[in-house]
């Protein structure tokens, strides 16, 4: 008898953090790992900040293109950096993986990751040759390039009529 292939359930795309996820996992983790300071300016709403982070990560938009409904883009970015340093994201992801394992909702055999590599637009560090010959050639070319150029802007003189 042939075994039927398991068809994964299609889930809706998450654009905001659901209430049960926030109340059960994320808020307690944030309170434990990143408690509010006793003095200083009051922090932004953590829930809205998380929703802004989800929006930015899902769309890939620039931080300064976040919709105003999430709050200040700079504050959200600062909060994300602080959570990364405090280990909030690592803890939340570990909790979610454990929870999904308990629910038996993730079929780990077909999960994969993708990465892309592309040309560095601005350039990058050039590798030097082991014998250093490239350095000598570059220095010589640089010296020749500036030899004989007149001082001033542009390097060319125009004739006046």
In degrees and rounded to multiples of 5, residue 54 shows phi and psi of -60, -45
DSSP state letters, 71-140: --HHHHHHHHHHHHHHTHHHHHHHHHHHHHHHHT---GGG----------SS--PPPPPTT-HHHHHHHH
Would you state the pLDDT for residue 72? 94
Confidence band, pLDDT 50/70/90 cuts, at residue 152 = low
Mean pLDDT is highest, among 51-60, 105-114, 126-135, for 51-60
Would you state the pLDDT for residue 93? 86
Q: Measuring CA to CA, which residue among 140, 141, 142, 138 is closest to residue 126?
A: 138
Tally Cβ neighbours within 10 Å of residue 17: 19
Specify the residue for token string 């125009």: 158
d(CA 26, CA 19): 10
Long-range contacts from 26-32, C-beta under 8 angstroms, 24+ separation: 26/50, 26/92, 29/88, 29/91, 29/92, 29/95, 30/83, 30/88
Would you state the pLDDT for residue 130? 62
**Residues 6 or more apart from 126 whose CB is under 8 A from it?**
134
Mean pLDDT is highest, among 13-22, 68-77, 91-100, 125-134, for 68-77
Q: Measuring CA to CA, which residue among 11, 122, 81 is closest to residue 73?
A: 81
CA 88 to chain centre: 15
Confidence band, pLDDT 50/70/90 cuts, at residue 33 = very high
Would you state the pLDDT for residue 13? 77
């Amino acid at each position: 008898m042939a075994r039927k292939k398991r068809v994964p359930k299609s889930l809706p795309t998450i654009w905001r953090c659901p209430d049960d996820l926030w109340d059960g996992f994320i808020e307690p983790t944030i309170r434990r790992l990143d408690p509010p300071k006793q003095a200083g300016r009051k922090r932004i709403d953590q829930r809205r900040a998380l929703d802004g982070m989800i929006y930015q990560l899902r769309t890939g938009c620039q931080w300064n293109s976040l919709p105003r409904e999430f709050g200040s883009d700079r504050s959200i970015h600062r909060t994300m950096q602080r959570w990364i340093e405090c280990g909030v994201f690592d803890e939340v992801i570990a909790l979610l993986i454990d929870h999904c394992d308990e629910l038996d909702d993730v079929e780990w055999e077909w999960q994969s990751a993708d990465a892309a590599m592309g040309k560095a637009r601005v350039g990058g560090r050039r590798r030097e040759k082991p014998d250093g010959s490239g350095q000598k050639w570059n220095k010589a070319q640089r010296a020749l390039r500036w030899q004989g150029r007149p001082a001033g802007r542009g390097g060319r003189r125009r004739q006046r009529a």
